[in-house]
Structure 1
Amino acid sequence: MIAIPPQAQVIGALALAAGLVLVGWTAKGWYEGDRELGALKGEIKTALADDKAHKDAIAELDAKYTQELNDAQAEIDRLTDDLAAGRKRLRLNAVCEDSATAAAGEPDAAAPRLNDSAERDYLRLRERISTATTQILGLQEYIRTQCAG
């Protein structure tokens, strides 16, 4: 058997202890790094879920108010068709002028009505009002639900 001097034994023991400390320190760093990485992954998953929920809520608002705009446009189109076909009339506070062809005491042959240009203007105004109202309501709800801190 080979005799190892005591100084070499002490140096060997110190080197072994330093190696073990270094290995332990490295392992501890890896463990803490893994733990921090796990926490970051959790934060990222939460942020992605929040972002998806936010996008879904915005898409739902968009679909709701787009449908309301489409419904309002369909109503305007129905009203336009009904006015053109004579199924509906616009009520006005109008005065009929005397007609030379009507006999005394009999109603005039034609009922008071808007001219074509005024009818188109009326329908265009209704369309714009309903569009603006729906857009404003949608924006207000977006601000209330999506921009609240």
Structure 2
Amino acid sequence: MDLKASNQALLRKSGYKATPARLAILDILAKAKKPKSIEKIRENLDSRKIQADQATVYRTLNALKNRGIVSQIDLQHNHAHFELSQPENHHHHIVCCSCGRIEDVSGLQIEKLTKQILKKSPAFAAIKSHAFEFFGVCKNCQKKSGSKSAYCEIGT
């Protein structure tokens, strides 16, 4: 099954019509090597000559997020990025706070940490989700700054 047919089936299974905008958004996220901002998704839609205003893109992403099809990552300064959900390949992200470069980080021992958290929080029976964000300075930005400890301002 090709990507378009797979996305059509995914949308129908989730109770959504396979509109050109929805199919294109899923295609953009499926082909992305890193999480995409709404602005970048809109730019990509525009380049494909698919009309969808920012509100439509946001509503579509929110609906897909609520169905577990996409994940929202709030990386910095409340600037949301989106990617396809990958339950079989759970990962986190590290972000360069200078240039915005994003890389996936996997292989962390989250299960161990989850057990420790539940042990120290007796009022809770289970953890259903979590989010870890790592911020730093990539090697390129560190080299450009000429300093071993390049400045990194983290949004609150």
TM-score using structure 2 length: 0.19
**RCO higher in 1 or 2 (8 Å CA, sep ≥ 6)?**
1
Which is richer in helix? 1
- Provide TM-score, normalisation by structure 1: 0.19
